[in-house]
Amino acid sequence: MRSFKPFTWAFLVPLFLTLFACGKRLPVTYKSPLVGKTRVCKVAILPFSNESGYPMGGVLLYRVFLAEMVTKRGYQVVGEGDVRKVIIQQRSMPGQTPDYEFYKVLVESLGVDAVVTGRVIQMEEVRKGREIEPKVAFWLEVRDARNGKVIWNTYNRKRGGDYRKLMHFGVISTVTALARRMCDEVLRDWEREGLEGCEK
């Protein structure tokens, strides 16, 4: 079976790290130059891999992102149970790049237009005196369900203190709350860049 490798990593990792070091606004989204506005009606979100060492970090971010995308008008998100049936049937593991057959089954059985995959790079809660500051970093990809090719690629990295407003107000103190805020930022960024639901 033919498989699709993450061909963009060698180029994108140093690019995103350079942008971050230069103070680039996050999240940062890379869009394939072959893609203009992208209309997506039905989306399957695959379980995210966890490279952070934080217990169940992939599951936490996956469910937060799924919930955030469900609330966005215009996207029909396939249920977690339906996606897992295909994963079990195809014996796919989180973090593994699915092959062509996997995407073919997703399209035929679930009728999806796009597939979202993710990797948790950093997730931790750091104690600072009496306070706890969460830190989260992740990559998300949107793939064309017809062939598995990456059409969008996004990196986001934040800490709870990044949302500080006046004095202590606005500071986020849990990884769940931080992940929710960051996922909302990513979805808003995708919308600005031209990823549209079918009802828009």
- Domains of the chain: residue spans and CATH: 38-193 (3.40.50.10610)
What is the pLDDT at residue 178? 95
What is the pLDDT at residue 187? 92
Above 70 in pLDDT, residue 41? yes
Average pLDDT over residues 17-23: 46
Give the tokens for residue 115: 């597939």
Give the tokens for residue 29: 């989204």
Give the tokens for residue 131: 């306070």
Average pLDDT over residues 123-145: 91
Among 155, 144, 108, 152, which residue's Cα sits nearest to residue 4? 144
What is the pLDDT at residue 9? 43
Cβ atoms of residues 5 and 150 within 8 Å? no
pLDDT band at 55 (very low <50, low <70, confident <90, very high): very high
| pLDDT tens by residue, 89-123 | 888 776 677 788 888 899 999 999 999 999 999 99
Q: How far apart are CA 60 and CA 142, in angstroms?
A: 19
Helix (H, G, I), strand (E, B) or coil at 166: coil
Amino acid at 147: N
Average pLDDT over residues 72-91: 86
Q: How far apart are CA 143 and CA 151, in angstroms?
A: 6
Average pLDDT over residues 14-39: 64
Amino acid at 99: D
Mean pLDDT of the chain: 82
Cβ atoms of residues 61 and 54 within 8 Å? no
Above 50 in pLDDT, residue 10? no
**H-assigned helices in 7-93:** 9-21, 57-71, 80-90
